[in-house]
């Protein structure tokens, strides 16, 4: 590549070799989830449980409690709803039983693995 350079009002013509740097290209840009093939659900039903307690599968805040102490519940029944990142997650009972104690209240912040409801056999 030839360049003209002026220094103190004197023009010089110089040859310059330019080496191109290889720049890493951008990866593919995907708009939407699976290009719109599978829409994101606004609710998810997640079974969460341990030996005698139903635990939070993720961190969030308690939106609604749908059972009361002493209620008999079936396996898969929705016990409460957690809200995380503006998404509601229905927490279901892993097995049939009776609600012993409710350990949280609406509006409480919970961490993943935290017990929410104790069950009696």
**H or E element that contains 24:** none
pLDDT reported for residue 44? 53
pLDDT band at 108 (very low <50, low <70, confident <90, very high): very high
Q: What is the CATH number of domain 42-120?
A: 2.40.50.100
Provide the token pair at 97.
């039983």
pLDDT band at 62 (very low <50, low <70, confident <90, very high): very high
Distance CA 35, CA 18 (A): 41
Report the percent of the chain where pLDDT is more than 90: 39
pLDDT reported for residue 52? 82
pLDDT band at 19 (very low <50, low <70, confident <90, very high): confident
* Residue burial 2-27, b: 16+ Cβ < 10 Å; e: rest: eeeeeeeeeeeeeeeeeeeeeeeeee
Strand residues in 1-121 grouped as ranges (E): 2-7, 10-15, 43-47, 53-55, 60-65, 72-73, 78-84, 87-92, 97-102, 109-110, 115-120
């Amino acid at each position: 590549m030839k360049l003209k350079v002026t220094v103190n009002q004197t023009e010089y013509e110089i040859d310059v070799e330019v080496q191109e740097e290889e720049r890493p290209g951008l990866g593919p840009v995907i708009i939407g989830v699976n290009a719109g093939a599978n829409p994101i659900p606004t609710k998810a039903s997640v079974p969460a449980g341990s030996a005698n307690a139903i635990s939070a599968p993720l961190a969030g805040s308690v939106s609604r409690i749908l059972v009361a102490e002493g209620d008999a519940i079936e396996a898969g029944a929705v016990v409460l709803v957690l809200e995380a990142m503006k998404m509601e997650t229905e927490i279901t009972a892993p097995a049939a039983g009776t609600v012993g104690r409710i350990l949280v209240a609406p509006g409480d912040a919970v961490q993943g693995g935290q017990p929410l409801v104790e069950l009696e056999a």
